[in-house]
Amino acid sequence: MRYLIFSDIHSNLEALEAVLTHAEGEGFDGMICLGDFVGYGANPDECVQRVASYEEASAVVGNHDAALLDPSERQFFNPVATAGILYSEDRLGEDSKAYLQGLPITLDFDGFMAVHSSPAFPEHWTYVLQPGEATEAFRSMIRPLAFIGHTHFPIVYTEDGFIKPFVPGDPVVVDSERKVLVNVGSVGQPRDGDSRAAYVIYDSEEHSVRIFRVEYDIDRAAAKILDAGLPPMLADRLRRGY
């Protein structure tokens, strides 16, 4: 089975469309979104509807989605993130809201799990930014493999402490011998210095994970952010990829 897995769309419809078109060319049987459909960008409702339109799609909730649904989740949000949530709140249709409300915090599949933040206390939206935080995550993983997002930085951690830079054209082999944590990066707001949208394809028969980076119309997405009256830095950072 080939799973298309991506995260952190953040209302960037141009990036999402580019990812879906590219991934359809690669081929997939299942689709998993790791959360943060909304926030930051100009098209929250369209992004939720686009993913929800795929019968094979499943998803978990992200911290921005949770903040939209529950204002008490906004307490640690900075003013820029809050502006994105208030904008999304005004524009999300009832169907999209119901879709987000129905999302679980983790999903279990045969041999792997999907979660927005760390598998350790996912409801606390813990970041995995360092090997120590990865170690904590491995302790709480009952499956050998987990796909996560949240940091917008694609990277692979393995249980024996090896951190692999996650680059296109360099598939990562995953086996059940040692636990592996795969951060799939971000569709709509990459923060690793590469402005292209990120997604992965996990082939459960080949035991491989491949990352893809896709160019999209950044100028259009950035112009829409400015037209919407969202903070200008949200447009700038799309170009910087950081």
Question: What's the CA gap between 119 and 196, in Å, rounded?
Answer: 26
- The site for Zn ion, by CB under 5 A, has a size of 2
Using the contact rule CB under 5 A, the part of the chain among 3-11, 67-75, 85-93, 217-225 near Zn ion is 3-11
> Least CB distance from residue 209 to Zn ion, whole Å?
20
Using the contact rule CB under 5 A, the part of the chain among 4-12, 17-25, 70-78, 81-89 near Zn ion is 4-12
Say whether residue 17 binds Zn ion (CB under 5 A).
no
Residues numbered 101 to 160 that lie near Zn ion (CB under 5 A) are: none
> Least CB distance from residue 35 to Zn ion, whole Å?
8
Using the contact rule CB under 5 A, the part of the chain among 30-38, 82-90, 163-171, 207-215 near Zn ion is 30-38
> Cβ closer to Zn ion: 8 or 14?
8
CA angle 177, 181, 185 (to 5 degrees): 145
Interacting residue with Zn ion among 36, 45, 65, 192 (CB under 5 A): 36
Say whether residue 65 binds Zn ion (CB under 5 A).
no
Say whether residue 192 binds Zn ion (CB under 5 A).
no
Q: Hey, what amino acid is at 79?
A: P
DSSP string, 110-140: TTEEEESS-SSSGGGT----SHHHHHHHHHH
> Cβ closer to Zn ion: 11 or 204?
11
Residues that bind Zn ion (CB under 5 A): 8, 36
